[in-house]
Amino acid sequence: MLFIRLWMFFAGVLATLFLGWAALIGVPGVQLASVPAQPGLRPYTYEEMHGREIYMREGCVYCHTQQTRPQGFGTDQKRMWGRPSVPGDYVYDRPHLLGTSRTGPDLLNIGARQPSRDWHLAHLYNPRAVVPESIMPRFPWLFEEKTGTGPQDVPLAPGSHIVATREALDLYAYLLALNRTYPVRRAEP
Amino acid sequence: MKAPPLEQSPELVSLRRVLDESAAVPVLLFFATGVLWLLAGTVFGLLTSLKFDMPDWLAAIPALTFGRLRPAHLNAVNYGWASLAGAGCLLWLTSRLCMTPVRLRGGLIASVILWNLGVLYGTGAVLLGYGGSVEWLEYPLPAAAMIGAAFLLFAASILQTFRMRSVQHLYVSLWYTVACVVWFPFLYVAANLPIYSGVVHGAVNWWYGHNALAVWFTPIGLALAYYFIPKVIGRPIYSYYLSLLGFWSFALFYNWNGIHHLVGGPVPNWLQTISIIASVLMVIPVMAVAVNHHLTTVGHFRHLRSSPTLRFTVFGAMCYTAVSFQGSLESLRGMQEVVHFTHYTVGHAHLGVYAFLTMILFGAMYYITPRVARWNWPHPGLIKLHFWLTAGGISIYVIAMCTGGILQGYAMNESVRPFAQVIDLTRPWLIARSASGILITGGHLVFAYLFAQMLIHAGPRRETAPWEEAAA
């Protein structure tokens, strides 16, 4: 045994993990803990938070990122998906929803790019009715069928019996809140 | 194959029998429940894949929407199948290498039960919409706590068995085993703490996601490969010093890799850079292991034909080399610019957890199960079928996803291409992936059938008693 002593082996094993943790979490944790929210960012409202929970429940994160890349690294800038995001854009995000897959487009600024409620509701009900090539899932359970619609109801189309539930409307509110187009005011790490 | 005479001495044969008897109940429980999760996870995975090809199929059932099936698949195969089967293998291996019976067996029974309840609770929660949307950490806290507690019981048994060892020499596989049972609890607890938000949470997420491989799954695979390749071939590992270099460079570099999942994202640049450097440095441990394994095997390829254990293990060990080099390349900024966010990443992940780890687990289970169940595998033909379905399936899988992913990445980086065109471009590759999934599912059904026969001692009785032999 070339470890000389067994306790040295265990010490080495613990030290290697701790070193990695300190470098990847400890130091950036301290560096980023002091990053304040960008001045243009506001906390989510109650409805938006609820919408965010629907976003998590339905696993939108597995197909959509919420991070925009800088000029010269991919074409997020040319596709007008929004300026490169910075840590101060995410202070209210708990849990983070940065995402790792772009089976669908980045959504960090979808609220600015596509503010239409009708568009979003129709798209959530059946994406292929809006974008024929889409492979995004349908979310019909965010809607209900009603025989008579009242004034507060939000039907899919004028005269339609399919109306949005609270969940669909709050999800829309969250999508609309995905808007980090304000300028970056504070330099960030 | 004739085993060396020392290995066959009557004392050793009867000692091995005592060791295997001590391991039998817990190991078989870990294996059997692992196989059940393999089947469940396979169904989730296949459905997930088919959802890409037929998005309107089963579209009105919330529990079967893509965004819930995908995490259910990931968690069921990782915390269910790979972790349970891996834990079972490590228990048996530790007892054999320490030449002492498995200790704390009562705790192990509790561990299996708790572990399975945790995975059941967690996976059910994900399907019902209570998943956390943080990849690899979707399980609600109570489910994670159950799995964590189960892991501690398992780790206690490994460490106690290790403490009671009756050997001087600590073989390489034991280093990896002991290290990973010490590492993983720290990792799992630190990552599950509900205290993070924003970009730091992203860093914690990928520090964990990558480390689940670095400090748990890869050590399992390497411990088993280091044991079974020399064991089945009947000659010692090529170089002890290479093993040592491999182990410590692995321990040093691997757990710095995680942030390469956030290259180009809103995390500090220096952080991305050190993870990229560490990913490239992984070439050192990987070369050490690859050279060591390959030079042990070279000249003995004929055993691949007779031993299913060796066939699965060597396939897995080769894929370890492949997936590691791919990973080092993939972390570079130029490569990330194209393949990050694409199906390429999914192909890479399956080359790791499936082609490397799962294939090695199959190989190990082909060796261990007869010795603890005291019954021989019926139907050698079906074992071959299992190998070719899974090896063929995963090869198609990885090629389809990596090729499709590269095309997808280049298309996405051509800003004039509408996004709908990018979707169309990936379609045939996703269909090929579903086809590979059908092959893999077939392989798993064959394996589950064989394994069930072992448990109930069914099938034709074969003459040789494998637990009396040194080699498979």
Selection from B424, B410, B399 nearest residue B338 by Cα: B410
What tokens appear for B218 in the block? 């890869």
The chain B residue lying nearest A60, using CA atoms, is B67
User: With an 8 Å Cβ cutoff, are B264 and A14 in contact?
Assistant: no
Distance CA(B378)–CA(B101), nearest Å, equals: 28
**Given CB atoms, is A9 within the 8 Å cutoff of chain B?**
yes
Going residue by residue through chain B (472 aa), what tens digit of pLDDT does each one get? 344 455 678 888 899 999 999 999 999 999 999 999 999 999 999 999 999 999 999 999 999 999 999 999 999 999 999 999 999 999 999 999 999 999 999 999 999 999 999 999 999 999 999 999 999 999 999 999 999 999 999 999 999 999 999 998 899 999 999 999 999 999 999 999 999 999 999 999 999 999 999 999 999 999 999 999 999 998 899 998 999 999 999 999 998 999 999 999 999 999 999 999 999 999 999 999 999 999 998 888 888 888 999 999 999 999 999 999 999 999 999 999 999 999 999 999 999 999 999 999 999 999 999 999 999 998 899 999 999 999 999 999 999 999 999 999 999 999 889 999 999 999 999 999 999 999 999 999 999 999 999 999 987 776 555 544 443 3
Chain A nearest-CA distance from B129, in A, is: 5
Selection from B199, B206, B223 nearest residue B87 by Cα: B223
Chain B nearest-CA distance from A118, in A, is: 21
The chain A residue lying nearest B67, using CA atoms, is A59
The matching CATH number, chosen from 3.60.10.10, 1.10.287.3510, 3.40.50.10140, 1.10.760.10, for A39-177 is 1.10.760.10
C-alpha dist (Å) from residue B61 to A47, A50, A140, A142: 25, 21, 9, 12
Chain A nearest-CA distance from B414, in A, is: 7
Distance CA(B29)–CA(B84), nearest Å, equals: 9
Q: Is A163 helix (H, G, I), strand (E, B) or coil?
A: strand
Q: Are B312 and B368 in contact (CB under 8 A)?
A: no
User: With an 8 Å Cβ cutoff, are A16 and B196 in contact?
Assistant: no
**Given CB atoms, is B325 within the 8 Å cutoff of chain A?**
no
**How many CB atoms lie under 10 A from the CB of residue B163?**
11
Domains of chain B and any CATH numbers: 10-468 (1.20.210.10)
Enumerate the domain spans of chain A.
1-34, 39-177
What tokens appear for B151 in the block? 């892991």
ipTM: 0.95
- Residue linked to tokens 């295997």: B20
This prediction's pTM: 0.96
- Residue linked to tokens 């109306």: A163
Phi, psi for A132 (deg, rounded to 5): -55, -30
Distance CA(B283)–CA(B391), nearest Å, equals: 25
Chain A nearest-CA distance from B164, in A, is: 14
Contacts of A184 in chain B (CB under 8 A): none
Q: Using CB atoms, which residue from B67, B414, B415 is nearest to A137?
A: B67
User: With an 8 Å Cβ cutoff, are A138 and B56 in contact?
Assistant: yes
Q: Using CB atoms, which residue from B342, B346, B415 is nearest to A78?
A: B415
**In B58-138, alpha helices (H):** 66-75, 83-98, 105-128
